[in-house]
Amino acid sequence: MQELENFKFSNKFAGLPEDFFHRQNWTPFVNPKLIHFNKELGEQLGLPKDLNPQDLVPYINGNKTFKNSDPLSMTYAGHQFGSWVPQLGDGRGILLGQLQTKDGLMDLHIKGAGKTPYSRFGDGRAVLRSTIREYLCGEAMHHLGIPSSRSLIMIGSDEPVFRETTEFGAMMVRVAKTHIRFGHFEYLKHNQKTEFIPILLKHVIDSYFPELPESIDGYTDLFEIIINSTARLIAKWQAFGFAHGVMNTDNMSILGETFDFGPFGFLDDYDPGFICNHSDHGGRYAFNNQPSIGLWNCHALAAALKDHIDIERAKEIINDYQKNFYDELSTIFRKKLGLTTHESDDLSLAEELLSWMQKKKIDYTFAFRNLSKDPSFLYTDQAGKIWYEKYQKRLNKETTSPIERKRIMESTNPKFILRNYLAHEAIKDAEKSNFHKLNNLLEVLKNPFQENSKLEELAKPPPEWGKKLEISCSS
Ligand code: AMP
Ligand code: MG
C-alpha cells in the first residue's frame, strides 16, 4: 500500500547526536499474525480510513519498510527500585519516528522488536500475555481520561519465548507523545555527558513547548511542567485505583503520560497497601506509595538537571508537587462524591469512606459507582450508615439537582474497569486464538462510564480466585 510506505515520519529524535541512540532495524517473526488493530487510534494518526490492518502487518513485523522512517533504539539509564543503573536503553524496542498529528507529535515505537545493544541478558522479545495487558491498559487509561501511551496494533507469532513457562512472542506499536524518560537525563548526567543535557532540553522545548525560551528560564519552566504533570498524573492513578507496579525513573515519561506498564493492577477490594507486582517484595511500589515515589523520581530528575535550571525555583517547584497532587485528587474526589461546591473537609469525607471500605473489604469501583445508584452496601453496618448520613448532610449544602449530581458521578465513577481477572481470562483465550473475550473487554473499556446490559457480567467484582492472581515482573 503506497500510503503506508510513504508514511510521513518527522524523525526529530533521530536528528540528535548519535550519543542518544543506536540506529538499527529490528528482527521480524517468521510467521506474524494480526492480533488486534486499534482503528480509532489509526484514524487519529492519519492512517487511511479504509485500511486493511493485514496490510500493516509486514511493516510492523519489519518485512517491509516505511520509506521515511529512521529506526533506532534509544539510550537511557535510571533508578530501578531505588538503585542506580547506569546503562539501560531500549532492550527490546525500536523508535520508528514521530508523526505530526492534530494532537501534536506522536512517537511510534515497536515493542518486542528483538535484540539491540541494550538488551543485556534479555532476548529482546515481549510475550503475547504482557503485550495484550499493555494494549488493554492503554485503552482503559485513555478512556478513563488518564494520560497514557496506547497501542496501535498488536501482532503475534509462533516463536517460543522463555519466561517462567514457554510463551509466544508478540510485538506491538506503542503510541506515546514521547519516549523520552526521566532516565534519559539521568543517563547524560551520570555518564559524563552533561554537555548533551541542553541539547535534549532544547529538543523537548522545540518539539513540545515551542513557546518556551531556550534558556535557563525556559528549562526551568519545562521542569515545572514535568513535575506538575507528574503530580497530577499520579493523583489520577490514585483516584481511579491504578497501581503502576514499576515506577522506576526509566519508566517515567517526561510528558506526564502513564508509560511502560509492567505488572500493573487496578484495585479490586479497596486496599491501600496493594502491591500489584509479585516481585516487589518490599512494597516500594505499593498503591499508597505511588505519590511519594513520584516525588522521589522528581528529585532524581532535579538532580540530573541541577546545573541547567534555576535551583531556587526548582526547590519551589518540587515543594508544589504535593499541592498539585492534592488539588487534582480533591477535584476528582469531589466529582466522585457528586460535590460541586467546596468545603474544606471534603477530602476527609472521602477518606472516611475509604477507611470504612478498607475495613469491610469493599470493591473500589463497585462502591463508587453505586453511591449514586444503590448505596445499600453502606447499610451493612453502623459505621457505614453513619458515614452515609454525614454524606447526606454534606449533599444538603449543594445546589445541583439530584439528576445532575448523578450525571456527574456516573461520568467520574466508571462502571467498568480493567480487572486483573478479566485480563487474565481474555489472555488465556487469546493464546488459543479465541479473541471473543478480548474484544468484549475492549468494548467496555472504551466506554467505561456507560451502562452496557449485554456485557453487564464484566462489571462484576472478581470471584475469590480472581483476587489472588499473582502478576510477576516477567514480560
Ligand atoms: P522494563 O522493566 O520493561 O521497564 O525494562 C527495563 C529494561 O530492561 C529496559 O531497558 C528494557 O528494554 C529491558 N528489557 C526488558 N525486557 C527485556 C527483554 N526481554 N529483552 C531485552 N531487554 C529487555
Ligand atoms: Mg521500562
Q: Which residues pair with 34 in a beta bridge?
A: 155
* Grid coordinates of 473: 515482573
Asked if the model's pLDDT at residue 3 lies above 80, the reply is no
Q: What are phi and psi of 253, to 5 degrees?
A: -75, 140
CA distance 198 to 214: 9
Cα 125 to middle of ligand 2, angstroms = 13
Would you say 416 and 441 are in contact if contact means Cβ atoms under 8 Å apart?
no
Give, using CA atoms, the residue closest to atom 2 of ligand 1.
262
Cα 139 to middle of ligand 2, angstroms = 19
Q: What is the mean pLDDT of residues 104-128?
A: 97
The residues carrying an active-site annotation are: 250
* pLDDT tens column, 341-359: 999 999 999 999 999 999 9
> Is the beta carbon of 122 within 6 A of some atom in ligand 1?
yes
Q: Are strands 33-37 and 150-162 parallel, antiparallel or unpaired?
A: antiparallel
> Is the beta carbon of 74 within 6 A of some atom in ligand 1?
no
Read off the pTM.
Answer: 0.98
| DSSP conformation letters of 9-39 | B--TGGGS-GGGEEE------SS-EEEEE-H
Q: What is the pLDDT of residue 1?
A: 66
> Is the beta carbon of 91 within 6 A of some atom in ligand 1?
yes
Give, using CA atoms, the residue closest to atom 11 of ligand 1.
91
| 3-class state of residue 347 by DSSP | helix
* pLDDT tens column, 296-337: 999 999 999 999 999 999 999 999 999 999 999 999 999 999
Q: What are the extents of the domains in the chain?
A: 2-176, 337-410
CA distance 438 to 441: 5
* Grid coordinates of 371: 453511591
Asked if the model's pLDDT at residue 191 lies above 90, the reply is yes
* Grid coordinates of 436: 471473543
Q: What is the mean pLDDT of residues 440-445?
A: 98
Asked if the model's pLDDT at residue 468 lies above 90, the reply is no
Of 137, 182, 146, give the one whose Cα is nearest residue 301: 182
| 3-class state of residue 106 by DSSP | strand
* Grid coordinates of 449: 462510564
CA distance 356 to 350: 10
CA distance 115 to 122: 8
Cα 73 to middle of ligand 1, angstroms = 12
| 3-class state of residue 45 by DSSP | coil
Q: Which atom of ligand 1 is nearest to the CA of 90?
A: 12
CA distance 264 to 20: 29
Q: What is the percent of the chain where pLDDT is above 90?
A: 95
* pLDDT tens column, 207-249: 999 999 999 999 999 999 999 999 999 999 999 999 999 999 9
Question: Which bound ligand lies closest to the C-alpha atom of 90?
Answer: 1
Of 221, 192, 113, give the one whose Cα is nearest residue 157: 113
| 3-class state of residue 79 by DSSP | strand
Pocket test for ligand 1, best of 73, 81, 94, 118 (most atoms within 8 A of CB): 118
Q: How far is CA 68 from the centre of its chain?
A: 28
Pocket test for ligand 1, best of 94, 119, 125 (most atoms within 8 A of CB): 119
